[in-house]
Amino acid sequence: MFSSVPQFKNAFLKKLEMMFGTSFEESTSREQFQTLGHMIREHVSSDWIKTNELYRAGAKKQVYYLSIEFLLGRLLRHNLINLGVEKVVCEGLGELGIELDQLEEIEADAGLGNGGLGRLAACFLDSLASLDLPGHGCGIRYKHGLFEQKIVDGYQVELPEQWLRHGHVWEIRKTDDAVEVPFWGEIESRMENGRLVFRHLNAETIMAVPYDLPVIGYETQTVNTLRLWNAEPSRFPANADIFKYKKDTESVSEFLYPDDTHDDGKILRLKQQYFLVASSLKAIVNSFKKKNKSLLEFHDYVSIHINDTHPAIAVPELMRILMDEEGLGWGDAWDITVQTLSYTNHTTLAEALERWPIRIFKPLLPRIFMIVEEINERFCKQVWEQYPGDWGRVESMAIIAHDEVRMAPLAIVGSHSVNGVAQLHTEILKNREMNLFYQFYPERFNNKTNGITHRRWLLKANPGLSGLITDAIGGSDWVSSPQKLEELMRFKDDSAFLEKLHDIKQANKERLAKRILDKTGIQVDTESIFDVQVKRLHAYKRQLLNVLHIMHLYNALKKDPEALLYPRTFIFGAKASPGYYFAKKVIKLINCVADKVNNDPATNGKLKVVFLENYRVSLAEDIFPAADISEQISTASKEASGTGNMKFMMNGAMTLGTLDGANVEITDLVGRENIFLFGLTAEEVLDYQHNGGYHSLEYYHHDERIRGVVDQLVNGFFPDTENHFNEIYDTLLGHNDQYFVLRDFASYAEAHQEISRSYLDRNAWLQKSLVNIAKSGYFSSDRTIMEYADQIWKVQSALKV
Ligand SMILES: *Cc1c(COP(=O)(O)O)cnc(C)c1O
């Protein structure tokens, strides 16, 4: 139905009539969108079935990626591109007077994630399918994804997100594959035929109903599956309030927790984690059993990856299944479990490490708790035997200690592989945060530097640049082999080519400028440098450093209209966790600075500040291609990897960053002359943190630029904001500026000046931009996934014989 334009048009019109009983002329855009979505699903259904059959019958190992978040965004254009039918559809719709661009806007973002961690999971799915690897996602079908952000009076206001309001055209409900997940109750144990058996009595069960989404690979037959579990009532308990039961049950997949650094200790969150793990493992084991192989070979056919510690209960749950349901002994079950599971750590922030009070964990998951206790006892004994007398070590490493279950130790002990997400991050894990575990299990630790799917973040988001690349290097091979982007290096001294690069950036900036005008009423100068910081709002990411520096530029311009070498437009996008008070104050500050700056005729034409509300995947796709500067300014050692940095680089923006996360690898790839670095190194930050020696007040007193902007937070500089910024002021001075904002200020300001100077040399700037694009192939998630597949999961393409 997609093989030619007339055929497509014909099929589209027929399908539309059948689905909605309406004529094309009468149809709405939503009906047209739904029609196209259904056509795509039908189109892939035979490949989807074939892929599943291949996996079912085949002797090849399957990998399951368990993640509490999948930040998918929209799928329409992405699917069209991967199927290779974008052009036909675009032309066909065009002939019918429909713009694909507009139809795309109908689709709600599937925002089932907070930020980088969830987006990584989505990028990995695309790479798995595109590389023909048998890899599937397992997640939760939250009724409400990440909240919708509105800015009211400069402050963030959260509205519930409603992506399912009009249904999700890509999903298929698999009622017959539903499974039950038990909570609460008691465990009864007794001897049966010489074996201890356990029964879970009086449990409250929740029905987990899977919704499957096809994951369509790029120009291949492979269609993998993302399975999202929905929580529904199971057996209604007798004599119970059925309305309450229904509500309690459904609440398990009602909301995504709007926080990616720490959780608030709610029972519901732990319920969500067990719900995801128990339903996914049940389905995985069921599917394995259809192969009629011995369970002792389970790990030869199944690999299960736990994305951060949220699914770490997979360790005791797999033990439970293997022992209680399948009758294996502890030793065999443990070997299989460890060989099956692998774990990625995503953060070194101590406050982000998950821990559950026993008083919550034990009653909610009674059998699981028993198994965790046993794992802990055996593990502590091993540590004790290796380090006799070292109580401190046992206490630090224990899975259960101080009335808490610690999820990171559980994940490490129960997995054969533990990886960090960028070189520096992995080194910090090995040498500092998880050093004791590294000493104990050195062979388990490894690095897998994150990546992004260049198919979404370059091919789809930046058609202009993609077209230029294809023309330049003679064909679109680079889409399947992103390392080929390196061939662009040939054009480094080709000024005609560099001018084309410039024109594309300019067109992207104009498109974004138009969006900014539509959404905010702010007119930005597309000749100015677009300097962008988009990411979750967090103290360690230091949006505060950025905005304080803008205040300094404003002050400087007021004194000397020539102070800024080149006009700048600062663009922000960021959601703050609803309970994160400080982060919300920073949003308010950005908006206050924007008001002040944008309405001052004295700085007009030189400085603009824009805060784009509701930052999400679809908005991100408009922003990255239009950026000149990528702000990656976290306090060194705090950002595990970052992936926004990679998306900017791939679209030809220059990084302004600290030597943190994957910025280190970016620097190695592009060379010191093609990136703007500033600030403390991770080593220096960690040294300050351990040995002291930093006094933010000294920087306040000795740098009048700093004194100027910090005082402006509290001296009435912003009209009608009495006391609004007291906390920010206190963080910086009273609490000694934990994230070294003032310490790095001067170095940051200097780097900004260097940027302005560099931008003045247009040809040199374009060369730098080209180098960034050419070297970005390394950051394709295809590379990352091949490393996981070869080194951790040991899975191979199912199509290869
Ligand atoms: C890539 C991405 C992120 C992660 O950005 P970082 O700068 O790495 O923190 C967060 N949110 C969205 C919508 C993204 O696309």
- What pLDDT digit, counting tens, does each position of 560-613 carry? 999 999 999 999 999 999 999 999 999 999 999 999 999 999 999 999 999 999
Pull the structure tokens for residue 306.
């736990």
In the chain, list all ranges with CATH 3.40.50.2000: 58-73+109-450+786-793, 495-779
With the C-alpha atoms ordered 281, 283, 289, 293, is the resulting torsion angle positive or negative? negative
- Given a cut of 70, is residue 781 above it in pLDDT? yes
Active site residue 77: no
Question: Which whole number is the average pLDDT over 622-651?
Answer: 98
Predicted confidence band at 260 (pLDDT cuts at 50, 70, 90)? low
- pLDDT the model gives residue 243: 87
Instruction: Ligand 1, residue 642: give the atom nearest the CA.
Output: 8
* Options 444, 541, 584, 775, the catalytic residue: 541
Q: In sequence order, what are the residues at sequence separation of 6 or more whose Cβ sits closer than 8 angstroms to the Cβ of residue 53?
A: none
Superfamily name and number for 58-73+109-450+786-793: Glycogen Phosphorylase B; (3.40.50.2000)
- pLDDT the model gives residue 164: 98
Decide if 303 contacts 166 (C-beta within 8 A): no
Using only C-alpha atoms, what is the Rg of the chain?
27
Decide if 376 contacts 362 (C-beta within 8 A): no
Residue 737: strand, helix, or coil: coil
Active site residue 346: yes
Residue range 429-471, pLDDT digits in tens:
999 999 999 999 999 999 999 999 999 999 999 999 999 999 9
Average pLDDT, the chain: 96
- pLDDT the model gives residue 800: 60
- Given a cut of 50, is residue 115 above it in pLDDT? yes
- Given a cut of 50, is residue 257 above it in pLDDT? yes
- pLDDT the model gives residue 801: 45
- pLDDT the model gives residue 259: 75
What angle, rounded to 10 degrees, do the helices at 543-559 and 741-760 form?
60
Residue among 114, 161, 535 whose CB has most ligand 1 atoms within 8 A, to mutate? 535
Active site residue 800: no
159 backbone φψ class: left, alpha, beta (φ>0; ψ -120 to 50) = beta
Q: How far, in Å, is the centroid of ligand 1 from the Cα of 201?
A: 44
- Which residues have CB under 6 Å of ligand 1? 115-116, 119, 535-536, 616-617, 620, 642-644, 647
Decide if 454 contacts 650 (C-beta within 8 A): yes
* Lowest-confidence region among 116-120, 204-208, 231-235, 399-403: 231-235
Q: How far, in Å, is the centroid of ligand 1 from the Cα of 10?
A: 40
Residue range 329-380, pLDDT digits in tens:
999 999 999 999 999 999 988 778 899 999 999 999 999 999 999 999 999 9
Active site residue 453: no
| Domain with residues 495-779, CATH architecture | 3-Layer(aba) Sandwich (3.40)
* Options 643, 655, 731, 784, the catalytic residue: 643
> CA–CA separation, 378 vs 800, rounded Å?
41
Active site residue 643: yes
Residue range 77-87, pLDDT digits in tens:
999 999 999 99
- Scan for tokens 């369970």, then name that residue: 295
Question: Which whole number is the average pLDDT over 615-626?
Answer: 98
Decide if 426 contacts 449 (C-beta within 8 A): no
Predicted confidence band at 685 (pLDDT cuts at 50, 70, 90)? very high
- pLDDT the model gives residue 1: 83
* Options 430, 448, 535, 606, the catalytic residue: 535
Burial of 562 (0-12, 13-18, 19+ CB in 10 A): exposed
Residue 200: strand, helix, or coil: strand
- pLDDT the model gives residue 65: 98
- Given a cut of 80, is residue 59 above it in pLDDT? no
